[in-house]
Amino acid sequence: MEDFLKEALEIVKAQASVRNMTEEEITSMVRRLSDDIRGIVSAGTAIPGGEAEAPTPPVDPKKAVRERSIICLESGKSFKILTKKHLSKFGLTPDTYREKWGYPKGMPLVCKELQRERRKKMKEMRLWEKRVKN
């Protein structure tokens, strides 16, 4: 039996378990679903359980970190900083996000402007000197 037909039968079985269906409805639904599934697979679209295609980012990962924004390669949205909370929507941590898109391990996920501001502020605070005195 074809995989398309098996998938269609599983879907129809689940549907029939929650509502009454005539024999004709079941048969037509199985035919229609197996044809639809076959069409999806032949079009190259990934289905659950099938092989997923490599994700294509909205922009080149090298160009995603900009002066005043960083573009999330998962959602395509622009931010000043990519937070753990935002990345968790895609099941990623900052480390897995960096690994997935080929960024260096310690690279901050913030725009260049904010990165410079933070670096400047840290140098002004001179925390390394204060720690030695105490």
Given a cut of 50, whether residue 69 has pLDDT beyond it is yes
pLDDT of residue 47: 46
Is 111 inside any structural domain?
yes
**What pLDDT is stored for residue 50 in this prediction?**
47
Residue 25 included in any domain:
yes
Cα 26 from Cα 20, distance rounded (Å): 10
The pLDDT of 108-124, averaged and rounded, is: 94
Token pair belonging to 94:
């900052």
29-61 pLDDT, tens digit per residue, is: 888 888 887 777 776 654 454 444 556 777 888
Residue numbers of the domain that contains 18: 3-42
Q: How many residues does the chain have?
A: 134
- The verdict on residue 74 lying in a domain is yes
The answer as to whether 55 is a domain residue is: no
CA distance 82 to 110: 6
- The burial class, CB within 10 Å (0-12 / 13-18 / 19+), for 122 is exposed
User: Residue 19 falls within a domain, yes or no?
Assistant: yes
* Number of compact structural domains in the chain: 2
Residue 27, in any domain of the structure: yes
Query: Cβ(8)–Cβ(30) under 8 Å?
Result: yes
Predicted model pTM: 0.54
Does residue 82 belong to any structural domain of this protein?
yes
Q: Which two structure tokens, joined as six digits, stand for 59?
A: 């922009």
Can you give the pLDDT at residue 54?
A: 57
